[in-house]
Amino acid sequence: MQIPENHIAELKESKILLEKTSFIIKATDLIGTPIEKGIECLPDGWQEKIAKATNSSLSKSLEWATNTMDSESADSYPKLHMATVAATGAIGGAFGLSAIAIELPISTTVMLRSIADIARANGEKITDAEVRLQCLSVFSLGGNSKSDDAAESGYYAVRASLASLVTEAASHLAGKQAGEAIAEKIPALLSFIAKIAARFNIQVSEKAMAQLVPIIGAAGGAIINTLFIDHFQGISRGHFTVRRLERIYGEETVRKAYLAIEI
What is d(CA 127, CA 133) in angstroms, rounded to the nearest whole number? 11
Residue 61 CA, chain-centre distance (Å), reads 12
Q: What does the domain layout of the chain look like in residue ranges?
A: 5-260
CA nearest neighbour of 247 among 125, 115, 80: 125
> Can you tell me the distance from the alpha carbon of 143 to that of 124, in angstroms, rounded to the nearest whole number?
23
Max mean pLDDT among 111-115, 120-124, 243-247 falls in 243-247
pTM passes above 0.85: no
Please state the rounded mean pLDDT for residues 10-30: 81
Judged by DSSP in three states, 176 sits in: coil
The stretch 38-44 carries a mean pLDDT of 61
The pLDDT, as a whole number, for residue 244 is 98
Q: Per-residue pLDDT tens for 206-219? A: 777 776 665 455 45
pLDDT, mean of residues 86-95: 49
pLDDT band at 89 (very low <50, low <70, confident <90, very high): very low
Report the pLDDT averaged over residues 92-112.
70
Query: What average pLDDT does the structure give for the chain?
Result: 78
Tell me the average pLDDT across 81-99.
Answer: 52
Q: Cα angle at 62 between 56 and 67, to 5 degrees?
A: 145
pLDDT of 4: 97
For the segment 125-144, what is each residue's pLDDT rounded down to a tens digit? 988 889 989 999 999 997 55
Average pLDDT of the residues in 153-181 = 82
Q: Which of 93, 84, 137, 133 is nearest to 111 (CA)?
A: 84
At 71 the pLDDT is 53
